[in-house]
Amino acid sequence: MLGRRPRKQEQPQGVLDRIDAAEHRLVALPWKGLPCGIVKVRRLSDIETQAIGNFSLIETDSYKWSKARVKTQWSEVLAYAQKNVCICKAALVSPTYDDIFAAVGNRSFNAEVKAQIQHINQLLESMSPGPARAEAEGIRDALTVAWEVILPEDFVAGVIQAALGTDETDIKKVTEDMLYQAAVLADRGGKAPHEYIHGIFSDFNIRDIDNRAWIVYDERVEELREEAKQTRSGR
């Protein structure tokens, strides 16, 4: 009887290649409207996404209105931009965020702005709350945006899409009306809002839907109360 031919063991490199393919995506990204080549982006795990902080991938009507305001608080712009920077730092593999920052950042400009920010922070330590302090904080936040946020929006959007897999889920199809209706049903049925919105969603998307749905629900309930109060007072 002929002996069985021993199975050929898979080379470790083949396993590593498949792990690498599962962990990373090679994506063609634009840079200020022009193609900049292939970038290697790491898919962020659910825990890594949570560690970045509280942010949402759902654009509600109030969020869109906030973005469209003529006068926007620099602190809001800074908070939004810094979340994007955190995602890019965690997700970019080749080139890394630091590689890009070193390539496109003006070192003398960055050093000067950083020194100005440190100087303002020192002044703020002895300033009391008031218009002067608010103005100084606004200048500091504006300088921080100029210093930290150097990646163009189209590039950042591509990195975030690849890192969070937004192109593989239905999260961008969720609307404010869908959130409100889901929250109403959840309130009556004792379930979570995401159970009333059907689609392909990651664990992060599910938490995002639940959080945003209750926020929208509370806002609309408060609006209805105010409308009812005004109606009664107008009689």
Whether the predicted pLDDT of 88 surpasses 50: yes
**Cross-strand partners of 34:** 31
Give the SS3 label for residue 150.
coil
Q: Specify the higher pLDDT residue, 154 or 3.
A: 154
Mean pLDDT, rounded, for 77-91: 82
pTM above 0.85, yes or no: no
Length of the chain: 235
The token pair at 13 is: 């490199």
pLDDT digits (tens, 9 = 90+) for 100-145: 888 876 665 667 777 888 888 888 888 888 888 888 877 777 777 6
Eight-class DSSP state of 102: H
136-163 core/surface letters (b: 16 or more CB in 10 A; e: else)? ebeebbebbbebbbbbbeebbebbbbbb
Q: What angle do CA 180, 181, 184 make, to 5 degrees?
A: 85
Nearest Cα residue to 75 out of 135, 139, 141, 131: 141
How far is Cα 84 from Cα 77, in angstroms, rounded to an integer?
11
The Cα 183–Cα 59 span in angstroms is 17
pLDDT, one tens digit per residue, over 156-186 is: 889 999 999 888 899 989 999 999 999 999 9
Single out the residue of 143, 27, 6 nearest to residue 81, CA to CA. Answer: 143
Taking the CB of residue 133, how many other CB atoms lie within 10 A of it? Answer: 14
H helix or E strand, kind and range, residue 93? strand 92-94
Beta bridge partners of 27: 39
- pLDDT value of residue 185: 95
- Among 41-55, 139-153, 160-174, 216-230, the range of highest mean pLDDT: 160-174
Q: For residues 183 and 151, is the Cβ–Cβ distance under 8 A?
A: no
